[in-house]
Chain A
């Protein structure tokens, strides 16, 4: 079955620690890849996206993600997290030929001061 897998459901980090959240997908063909973030009490918003070109994409607030086609992965990274990065992070995949954005289960990140 086609799916989006996020490996870590809960992550706790201290401020200034580095972050990497894993995301793998099982869709064949050309895909578009996204990371969405939901801060406490707020709606989902786009963090970054990959459609084509440079597989290393940069998003808002210092986040970046790398698309590795051979591994069907799109991991999210940030060199140094801040307390304000505490949020739920969702990886999402859309087949180029489709309409639906399919989400992983999410990773809850808590950054402690």
Chain B
């Protein structure tokens, strides 16, 4: 069975500082991996995805993520955070991407300090 672990429940970062959110997955084959963001009272917005090719993927809002098969990781990064980045971030894995239901991690709550 597939699973996703996000080790950090909360992360606090100063505005303008760099950010890395961790995600580890368990899946038997090449996974389809996603990062979603959920702002308070909002639905889920897709930040980026990986399913093949270049292991460094670029997303929206200046985010990027790197797939590392040897570490079963798909960490999300941003070089300089903005106050508007404060939100809940979810890592997810799927067997066939949009064709299957996704398994989500528990999420990381990002707090931005002024």
Co-complex (A, B) = no
Residues of A near any B CB (own CB < 8 A): none
Residues of B near any A CB (own CB < 8 A): none
